[in-house]
Structure 1
Amino acid sequence: MSEDRWNTVLVLGGIRSGKSGFAESLVAGATSVRYVATATGGEDDPEWLARIEAHQRRRPQSWTTEETGADPAALTELLRQAGADETVLVDDLGGWVAAVLNPARQPNDDEADVAALAAAVRETAARVVLVSPEVGLSLVPVTPVGRAFTDALGTTNQSLAEAADGVALVVAGQPTWLKGGPLAPIKAAPAVSRPIAVPTPSTPAPPPPPVTVVAPEPEPEPAPVPAQVSALSGATMTLPLVASGLTEITPGMDLPLPSSDAGPDARERLSRLDLPGGGLGTLEEAVEFAAATQDTVTPRAWTTARLVVIGGRRSGGAIAGTDTADVERRIAEAETGTGLLGRLAGQAGADISVLRTEPAGAMEDGPVADEAAVETALRQGWQLADGAADAGRDVIVLAGISAGIEAAATAVLAATTGAEPVATLPRVPAPGGRFDDAAWMVRCATVRDAMHRIRQEPRGATDILREIGGLDIAVATGLLLGAAARRIPVLVDGPLGIAAGLVARDLASQTRHWCLLPEAGTLTLVKQGADVLGLTAVLQIGLDLGEGANALSVLPVLRSAIGLASALPVHPALLGEVGDGGLGLPEETGDEFDAEEFAEPEPHGPGPATTGV
């Protein structure tokens, strides 16, 4: 059994129950996954092929796919040979049972095949998740073949349920654990945020803008709570996430995905536009992302951005070499719409929402926050996303100003992906362009001690946040979940956003598809975490202005590229005839079309034969 106390899980569910998505969320934190496809045939069935394609698009690029096809023994052998450092996802056992019952294999001892598979599941050293259709609640089939399949699959499910460490039943996208225990549901209070209308920078500077504070609504008789987390974990009235249509945050949530067709179609369309030279280059990544999140091949440029600044503090070795007074100064500047972030936000036409979290403990000594505080912080972040959506914002830029966030994000990366902390922990900058290497060594030792301390602890999403992540990462995680639920893209560019993305995958794997990395920056921590999340940086110009500032700096360039992609027509040379209705023609953009200007001249005299386009 693994350190988080499960090694094999069987996920049951009916057709379109969400069982596959839930199973994928269980292994989303693995560095790589061996995805085992058992289905065979269907080459002449477009609907079946479409289902397979939808599953393929959900898988991260780091996953590898293996097909067992018509040989049931292949799956059993694969599980026996899988190593302790491997993660295997089998989807699903219905295809495996169909292969067992294949008339071409008869006569055969089918029960022996089932017993061998159950033994392999029981003995495997790998992390294994198996998906299987639940047939016990359906009607008895009217055909002998149908009854044979149902009986065989039911027997297989029983055998594997007995062998697995955990069994979950998924109904209407909601998982219920039949064996093993689920994580506690989240019930918390509304977010406390400070929305700020940021003025466009000018000289002299305008007066500070007003700050609005939305306070949590207390219960009539609040219970006493520890002083160090009273602001976040105090007893409050649990308010449903009405705007997002959810009442609680649980692992395996089935959140929306961006369009799987609009993005690739928009990128293909770019090759036909009236663009000189090689086109938009790497900026095509931003165009494809905007098209997918807006579900259109002609996306509009983001015009109403919101910068969400999350401020936090830590103690212990994580803040070695940190000038905490300087961190407080920068948070205060964000709250007044001044400083670097205020100036960049003003230039980008973005408003600011600032949230301060309570101090977190020393990760080397024990958990950095309690469970109630983490639950509250997750809901606060979700409601920050709800606030942005309700205000009509079309993109969120995530920024973090937190003492010790680099060490915490490094620990999260190590705990969720197995990365080596020494190779990813950023150096500690000091004023004047210098680096404090002694402080860096203290931080390395702190992360090492924290990883040793939690080696026997569970590794669920809330466990990671409670043990080493902290409340700022918890708020950012909730923000990513809420943004995905409200279909709002999020620009991430620093340790806080990357750490939150890694944790959010364990709650809902769809969140990473709503995130864009505008600029790679200089931190190995960000680049390696982004690679695990499947995020490709749009630009790589080496900005190192701080989290949120990098994204705001390149936001105008992204807007220009997206605007050009939606406004320019198809190149005249690619039109079969004037006004043939190709993508991006003026009838689509509203521009006037001059037939005389684009008419191809007739050749004079003999010449080479031509072929019409």
Structure 2
Amino acid sequence: MSVDGWNTVLVLGGIRSGKSEFAESLVAEAPTVRYVATSAAADPDDTEWATRLAAHRARRPGSWTTEETAGDPRRLADVLASAGPNETLLVDDLGGWVTVLLDPAHQPADDVATITELADAVRASEARIVLVSPEVGLSLVPTTPLGRAFTDALGAANRAVADACDAVALVVAGQPVWLKPATPARPVDVPTQATPTTGAAAPTSGVADPTGGAQPPLPDVLTPTVPAAPAAPTADGTGWAAPTMALPVVATGLVIQPGMELPMPDEYAGPQAVQRLGTLDLPGAGLGVLERVVEFAAATQGTPTPTPWTGVRVLLLHGDHAGGAAAGAPVGESARLARQARAGRGALARLAAESGASLQVVDAPPSAPIEHGPALDADAVEAALRYGWRLAEEAAEAGVRLLVLGACGAGAEAAAAAVLVATAGAEAPTVLGRVHTADGEIDDAAWMVRCATVRDALHRTRRSPRDAKDILAELGGGDVAVAAGVLLGATARRVPVLLDGPVGLAAGMVARDLAGQARHWCLLVDHGGHPAVRLAADVLGLTPLLDLRLDLGEGANALAALPLLRSVLALAGSLPAHPHHGGPDDEPTGDPTGDAAPTTPTAATATPTGEVGATTVPATTDRATDLPAGDAATGAADPDAGPAVGEVADPDAGPAGAEVADPDAGPAGPDATPEFAEPVPAGPGPTTTDAGPERDPSGRRAG
């Protein structure tokens, strides 16, 4: 598109000014267009008028459909109001519509009310609308009553529709001049100096601008609501243990510049957290690759026992790119997604509500076609960087503990790819993802246009500097610049950021060149199968945690995985240590089945083995071996122990039930042969439930 940020536009111009051609160029990239013809049928004898109409029809692509409203002027408002958000309409023109409105066949009628209805329909429509109208206010006053009525009615219609439209352009001699910009310039800024303080840094967002300019308000922070339980705050309610860092005072008065010294995560807390994981009562290999989540959270929170992130804010950057970068992007889709998020609808708002996260939709400056010239000027880049910094500062002051960065601008992927090509030395076709139509089909023609756009932009800037701000001005544009400012501001306030998509990774490449510490505060959840994300992650040293290849939209992919990350942190923080590492042992102290030998002999756990007459008495245990004395199935008796307590000894028999004879008693019989006796083990031996070989009542081995 030639102009970004608008949903409805009015194109004014004189006779043969080129207004219709300019209006058609605004919707040239739309896959389908409904051309709304408002003029009445021409006089069959007027060949010149018929020739004009034929020329108009010849310019329309074959994919366009034509709809006529000349029969009823009120029908135009109905057509605009009923159009869907995915439709694009071109109304040409309001001069013909007013002519039909003033036709005696439609009188008497309330012309003012009909014009008001048209303006209300334009204002309420969700479709992409371009209206063409003649500008008659610069001509002489007509000399006839009908001519004066026409100019008065058309002038009133132009004023009402211009007020309802997002943008208004005047075409003079084929040159468009924007009378009402779609995205008016907003002088964003942050304080040029920050006062060093001890401990926590004083908030800089409230300091007055030395130049005298007022700070513009930040976007509203939304809280999407769906039937979901919000995340509970931490038990102690405390924030970070590590203090924030005050920005250094630079002699030039600039804060955001290359070589900034920003804080790093705690270099000890991360390894200590991983070491602590090895002592927890976790089965198997434990958390696997998700150990990196615990390490990252520990380092950014400054503690070996990190807690799950509670205060989460999603920043959705909406900034369109003109030219070939947006080839194949559905017209008006990015604006629709931004409006949807503001209204609390759509995947991003739903996931934010499920995660208890707040949502902030940020309008970034629109970017010019990079194949023809710079995307932004130097002043706009400075303003965008500082604006992003302010967004991060405001989030930190509001208690946000984790930022999620997303984007929804048309052409954002191609602009991010251009930044990666310039900073990482890649080729455009290797970092540009496939382009899909609204029906889910692959659009190879649009993909080739994007490749050619990035190629032409790199060729145009082949002799330009490759500094961070130069890359933002020439290639990155508004959304990448704001995202880079967010990363720098979050780093200064020790707030970690979840990256998700090409825009966030391109901003990470730029932020790295301004402050190398910024990349250490970033976490990449999923690469989404996008080649640009894979390349940038490899350069920045960010290994994706997952390989889910989610394609829910930039920002929504990270939110979908956020519950898993929180669960990992909650598990790592609540599990006790393994018993081998000093943790509590919840095992039973004894097992009467014999599966585990008791460590301390007690009468309650002894096995009754002795029997005298009708009286059963418990057998004693040997303290050296913890084995029941006199139990033939469990081991040898102590030769010096004598008879068991409560048992009447046979003076002619050896130890009752003993497997090894007393060495002082001699052979058990004349036919007995001496056998090698196993030494008594020093500790508990194996137990068995097998009855073993049959014993001779006299105590001698049978056979």
The match for 1:278 among 261, 265, 285 is 285
Deviations 1:395-419 (A, max 9, x none): 0000101110111111100100101
Structure 1 residues 74-124: Cα deviation after superposition (integer angstroms, max 9, x where no partner): xxxxxxxxxxxxxxxxxxxxxxxxxxxxxxxxxxxxxxxxxxxxxxxxxxx
CA distance in structure 2 between the aligned counterparts of 1:404 and 1:331, rounded to whole angstroms: 15
Structure 1 position 493 matched with structure 2 position 500: yes
The answer as to 2:491 corresponding to 1:484 is yes
1:388 counterpart = 2:395 = yes
| SS of residue in 2 equivalent to 1:349 | coil
CA contact (8 A) 1:450 1:468 kept: yes
Q: Tell me the alpha carbon deviations over residues 368-415 of structure 1, each in whole angstroms, 9 at most, x when there is no partner.
A: 100000000000000100011000010000010111011111110010
Distance in 2 separating the partners of 1:608 and 1:469: 75
- 1:199 counterpart residue number: 224
Tell me: higher relative CO, structure 1 or 2? Use CA pairs within 8 A at least 6 residues apart.
1
Deviations 1:124-174 (A, max 9, x none): xxxxxxxxxxxxxxxxxxxxxxxxxxxxxxxxxxxxxxxxxxxxxxxx9xx
* Structure 1 position 573, deviation (Å): 2.2
Matched residue SS, 1:284 = helix
- SS of equivalent to 2:403: strand
C-alpha distance in structure 2 between counterparts of 1:546 and 1:376, whole Å: 27
Q: Is the 8 A contact 1:517 1:536 kept in 2?
A: yes
Q: 3-state SS of the aligned residue for 1:435? A: coil
| CA distance in structure 1 between the partners assigned to 2:222 and 2:588 by the alignment | 47
SS at match of 1:565: helix
Q: 1:462 to 1:276 in 2, by over 3 A?
A: same
Per-residue deviation, 1:199: 3.2
Residue pair 2:381, 2:473 contacting (<8 A) in 1 also: yes
Is 1:466 aligned to 2:479, yes or no? no
- The structure number with the bigger radius of gyration is 2
Task: Find 1:548's aligned residue among 555, 561, 568.
Answer: 555
**Alpha carbons of 1:361 and 1:596: their partners in 2 closer, same or farther (altered >3 Å)?**
same
SS of 1:427's equivalent in the other structure is coil
Q: Is the 8 A contact 1:189 1:379 kept in 2?
A: no
Q: Deviations over 1:454-480 (max 9, x none)?
A: 110000010000000001100000000
Distance 1:529 1:403 in 2: 20
Question: Alpha carbons of 1:282 and 1:452: their partners in 2 closer, same or farther (altered >3 Å)?
Answer: same
Unaligned runs of 5+ in 1: 1-171, 173-185, 204-240, 576-584, 586-592
- 1:46-445 paired onto structure 2 within 5 Å: 190=215, 192-202=217-227, 248-445=255-452
What aligned pairs does 1:570-609 form with structure 2 within 5 A after superposition?
570-575=577-582, 602=599, 604=626
SS of the residue corresponding to residue 420 of structure 2 reads helix
Say whether the 8 Å CA contact 1:273–1:570 is kept in structure 2: yes
Match of 1:413, SS state, is helix
Q: CA deviation at 1:190?
A: 4.5
Given candidates 524, 528, 532, the residue that maps to 1:525 is 532
**Does the C-alpha gap of structure 1 residues 488 and 248 become closer, same or farther in structure 2, counting only changes over 3 Å?**
same
Q: Is the 8 A contact 2:325 2:453 kept in 1?
A: yes
Q: Is contact 1:196–1:336 with CA below 8 Å preserved after alignment?
A: no
Task: Choose which of 484, 502, 510 in structure 1 pairs with 2:509.
Answer: 502
CA distance in 2, matches of 1:465, 1:389: 25
Q: What per-residue deviation string (whole Å, max 9, x for no partner) do you get for residues 485-540 of structure 1?
A: 00000000101100000000110000000000011211011011111000011111
Q: Give me the whole-angstrom Cα distance separating, in 1, the residues matched to 2:334 and 2:392.
A: 24
1:534–1:551: structure 2 CA closer, same or farther, 3 Å change rule? Answer: same
Cα distance in 1 for partners of 2:268, 2:547 equals: 27
Q: TM-score, normalised by structure 2?
A: 0.51
Distance 1:190 1:557, change over 3 A: farther
Structure 1 pair 191–608 and aligned structure 2 pair: CA distance change class (3 A): farther
Structure 2 residue 572 is the aligned partner of structure 1 residue 565: yes
* 8 Å contact from structure 2 (residues 245, 493) kept in 1: no
How far apart in 1 are the matches of 2:343 and 2:265? 35
How far, CA to CA, are the matches of 2:472 and 2:545 in structure 1? 29
Q: How far apart, CA to CA, are the structure 2 residues paired with 1:524 and 1:465? A: 21
After superposition, the Cα gap between the structure-2 partners of 1:253 and 1:244, relative to the gap in structure 1 and judged at 3 Å, is closer
Residue 286 to residue 190, structure 1, CA distance change in 2 (3 Å): farther
Asked if the contact 2:414/2:454 (under 8 Å) is kept, the reply is yes
Distance 1:417 1:594 in 2: 54
Q: Which amino acid aligns with 1:256?
A: P
For 1:498 and 1:459, locate their aligned partners in 2 and report how far apart those are by CA, in whole Å: 17
Q: Out of 454, 462, 479, which is 1:455 matched to?
A: 462
Does the CA-based 8 Å contact 1:409-1:495 persist in structure 2?
Answer: yes
* Structure 1 residue 358: Cα displacement: 2.4
| Other-structure match for 1:79 | none
Counterpart Cα distance in 1 of 2:214 and 2:456: 33
**Distance in 1 between the 2:371 and 2:449 partners?**
11
- Quote the Cα distance in structure 1 between the aligned partners of 2:517 and 2:350: 33
Q: How many residues align?
A: 373
Stretches of structure 2 lacking an aligned partner (at least 5 in a row): 1-195, 197-209, 229-243, 591-595, 601-625, 628-680, 686-703
- Cα offset for 1:598? 9.1
Distance 2:320 2:589 in 1: 62
CA distance in 2, matches of 1:544, 1:608: 63
Shift of 1:264: 1.4
Contact 2:490–2:496 (CA under 8 A) maintained in structure 1 = yes
Indicate how the Cα distance of structure 1 residues 597 and 395 shifts in structure 2: closer, same or farther if over 3 A, else same. farther
CA–CA distance in 2 between the matches of 1:337 and 1:244? Answer: 36
Counterpart CA distance in 1 for 2:281 and 2:257 is 47
State the Cα distance separating 1:542 from its structure 2 match.
1.5
Question: How far apart are 1:439 and its partner, in Å?
Answer: 0.2
C-alpha contact 1:334 1:341 (8 A) present in aligned 2: yes
Taking the aligned partners of 1:199 and 1:375, their CA distance within structure 2 comes to 32
Q: Is the 8 A contact 2:224 2:359 kept in 1?
A: no
Counterpart CA distance in 2 for 1:417 and 1:521 is 20
Question: Which of these residues, 507, 518, 527, is aligned with residue 511 of structure 1?
Answer: 518
Name the SS of the counterpart of 1:402 in structure 2. coil
- 1:305–1:395 Cα contact (<8 Å) kept: yes
Cα contact 1:244–1:486 (8 A) shared by 2:
no
Look up the SS of the partner of 2:479 in the other structure. helix
**Shift, 1:336, TM fit:** 2.1
Distance in 1 between the 2:353 and 2:460 partners? Answer: 44
Give the letter aligned to residue 511 of structure 1: A
Equivalent-residue separation in structure 2 for 1:607 and 1:431 (angstroms): 79
Give, as a single letter, the amino acid of the residue that structure 2 aligns with 1:541: L
Q: How far did residue 195 of structure 1 move? A: 3.0
> Cα distance 1:540–1:348, how it changes in 2: closer, same or farther (>3 A)?
same
State the alpha-carbon separation in 1 of the partners of residues 304 and 245 from structure 2: 30
